[in-house]
Each structure stands twice: as structure tokens, then as C-alpha cells.
Amino acid sequence: LLIRSKETKPQTSLNRDGRFKNMEEAFIYMNTKRNLTGYRIVIIDDVVTTGATMFAAENALIPHLPENAKIICIALAH
């Protein structure tokens, strides 16, 4: 549902504010002409540190999701 709309700097080289700025408008929603009601959408990222990437993905998705949609993050550290 999302595609990367721009290349970004590696997040590891940036502070918290820089990470959020770096990820602004990094994703765009691909119009699938499909009603998303009842679908489960999972966003997978290799590392969630500040949440900047997930926040950017959420911002791209929110306008296209049903009103009662929930966005959650599942993390595993080992």
C-alpha cells in the first residue's frame, strides 16, 4: 500500500528531530482502488527507535483508512 517516495539519509546518523525531519513525506499511498474496511495492514520495519519511520508511514496511510482503523506496532528484541 505504501511506496518510498524519496531517498532518505541513514537514520543512524541523525538525532531524534533529524530522524522525523528526514522521514517527512518519505512514503506515498498507492491507490489500489480497494476499500480497506476489514483488512489488517501490517507495517514491518527492521528497527523502531524513535518511531519516525512508523510515524511517516502512518501519516501516508491515515487519510485512506476506514474511520475505525487502528495502527499498532509490534516489536521484538532479542
Give the three-class secondary structure for 52. helix
pLDDT the model gives residue 5: 93
Instruction: Tell me the chain's radius of gyration from C-alpha atoms.
Output: 13
Closest CA to 64 of 35, 38, 23, 43: 35
What residues pair up with 2 in beta bridges, in sequence order? 29
Model pLDDT for residues 44-65, shown as the tens digit of each residue: 887 788 889 989 998 998 888 8
Q: Cα–Cα distance between 58 and 71 in angstroms, integer?
A: 7
Give the three-class secondary structure for 44. coil
Mean pLDDT in residue range 65-76: 74
